[in-house]
Amino acid sequence: MPVTSSDTMEIRTSDDIVRVRQKVRDLAVGIGLGLVDQTKIVTAASEIARNTLDYGGGGTARVEVIEEGFRRGVRVTFEDEGPGIADVTRAMQDGFTTGGGLGLGLSGAKRLSNEFSIQSAVGVGTRIMIARWKSG
Amino acid sequence: MDRIPILKMGSALLVTIQVDMQDRLAMALEEDLTTRIAQTGARGVLIDISSLEIVDSFIGRMLDSIAAVSRLLDARTVVVGMRPAVAITLVELGLTLTGVATALDVERGMALLGERIAGAEGFDAGDIL
Ligand SMILES: Nc1ncnc2c1ncn2[C@@H]1O[C@H](COP(=O)(O)OP(=O)(O)OP(=O)(O)O)[C@@H](O)[C@H]1O
Ligand SMILES: [Mg+2]
């Protein structure tokens, strides 16, 4: 899949989460995503970025514009080398949390995205991809 | 460290959250607000989020927890000015903020607080009589 723009950003502090949000917003505006779609992908990115920081011990976010045929989208891939997730299926359920949260980040981010994938291995780390296409 | 300004309006406190608030600012706000409620005896808190472009679970939890703590200090919280796109996104995220009262703008929020405070006071007075 062609990638027309790609930036890799560090996630080390909560200020970095703000920067990732802004970058995702800029690209979403750039490809002409509507306001609701922008808000959805930025919110999803914020959730996963926070998990990367809080549970993954920090990591990176690769923020890209992708193309497929005539459509364009924004894709964000988060990677960390933290403890990993032992049971991904459970972690994806609404309400599952080990951090005293609401357990909505992963499941919510999936609902807010058109594409979502997660790979995680205990002791190795976690990679999560979210994307939203410009519809029509 | 920067602080989010808290204004006093009658018996209510007004907080206007600025664009893309950082986490530590959000945490400081919770503390500052509870201190101010205790100091001023405020009966209501209005939180204006009209400049927030997104509300994620972190901010949502903060709003919920401010509302819960304020309630314990006998102040009612109303969140005002949520953007429509934010509301749509919050529901899809699964965060319905059930513990937080909302109003479309500051004026309506003040009206809502006024009703609640008056209502609660009327009730108290009745109790005493
Ligand atoms: N990058 C990660 N590395 C390790 N564990 C993770 C990672 N991301 C998520 N998890 C695990 O998955 C759980 C669910 O995450 P999710 O974001 O859905 O909820 P939460 O962060 O606990 O709460 P919320 O996001 O609602 O504030 C987390 O509590 C944590 O145990
Ligand atoms: Mg989370």
Mean pLDDT over each residue of chain B, to the nearest integer: 86
Share of chain B above pLDDT 90, in %: 64
A interface mutation test: which of B52, B56, B90 has the most A CBs within 10 A?
A: B56
B89 to A40: CB separation less than 8 angstroms, yes or no: yes
If you count DSSP H runs as helices and E runs as strands, how many of each does chain B have, helices first? 4, 5
Q: How far is A100 from chain B (nearest CA, A)?
A: 11
ipTM: 0.93
**Is pLDDT of A115 > 60?**
yes
Beta-carbon contacts of A110 under 8 Å, excluding residues fewer than 6 positions away, are A44, A92, A116, A130
Residue A30 CA to ligand 1 centre (angstroms): 30
Write down the CATH superfamily of domain B6-124.
Answer: STAS domain (3.30.750.24)
B56 to A35: CB separation less than 8 angstroms, yes or no: no
| Domain A3-133, second-level architecture | 2-Layer Sandwich (3.30)
pLDDT in tens, B63-103: 999 999 999 999 999 999 999 999 999 999 999 888 899 99
pLDDT band at B119, cuts 50/70/90?
low
pLDDT in tens, A63-91: 999 999 989 999 999 999 999 999 999 99
A104 to B22: CB separation less than 8 angstroms, yes or no: no
SS3 string, A4-49, reads EEEEEEEECCHHHHHHHHHHHHHHHHHCCCCHHHHHHHHHHHHHHH
Model confidence, pTM: 0.92
What tokens appear for B6 in the block?
């808290």
Q: Indicate the residue type of A6.
A: S
Residue A67 CA to ligand 1 centre (angstroms): 30
